[in-house]
Each structure stands twice: as structure tokens, then as C-alpha cells.
Amino acid sequence: AQSVAQPEDQVNVAEGNPLTVKCTYSVSGNPYLFWYVQYPNRGLQFLLKYITGDNLVKGSYGFEAEFNKSQTSFHLKKPSALVSDSALYFCAVSSTSGTYKYIFGTGTRLKVLA
């Protein structure tokens, strides 16, 4: 069965510092990996995805994520955090086998402190 783990409920980082939000996954078949962000009272917004190719994927708002097959991880990163990055972040996985439903993690609240 597919699963996603986001081990941190909350991540605090000072503005201007690099940030990392962790995600590990389990799937059968090749994974399709996604990051979404949710701002208050809004729906989830797509940030980036990994399908194939380069392990480092760049997305919206300066975010990037690194796919690591051996560690089954897809951590979200940003070199310099902004206060406006404060939001709820969800990792999701789909795969080349199965019914293509997307499985989401529990979410990580990112708090960027000024």
C-alpha cells in the first residue's frame, strides 16, 4: 500500500535561513511525488512534482525538492526562508501502479520567524 510520512508537525526557522521540510514515502512501482502548500482559508496549491529525471526539482516561490530513491525521501527545501512562506505543507505520492489515487501526508506547519 502507498503511504507518506511527514515526521514533523511543525518546523520553525528564522527568516533568511534555509529551510527543510521532510517527507518519506512507500509505494509499489515508480513514484510520482508532489508538494502542495495550504494558506489559511485556501485550498491546497501545487508547488512542485517529481516524475522522472533530475533528482533536484525546482518549483514555485523558490522552493525545490530532492528525490532520494535509496532513502525513499522527497524533502522540500528553500535556501532563504521568507515570513510569507509560513503555511501548511503537504507531501503526496502517486505511482505507476495501482489506481493513481494520490496519498497525502499529515502536513507540516512551517513557521518563519522575522
Question: What's the distance, Cα to Cα, between the start and end of the chain in Å?
Answer: 41
Cross-strand bridge partners of residue 88? 38, 109
List 11, 21, 23, 34, residue binding other proteins (CB under 8 A): 34
Q: Is 4 in the site for other proteins (CB under 8 A)?
A: yes
| Residue 63 CB, nearest approach to other proteins (Å) | 14
Give, as ranges, the residues between 40 and 59 that touch other proteins (CB under 8 A): 41-46, 49, 51
Its sign, for the CA torsion 50, 56, 62, 63, is positive
Q: Is 102 in the site for other proteins (CB under 8 A)?
A: yes
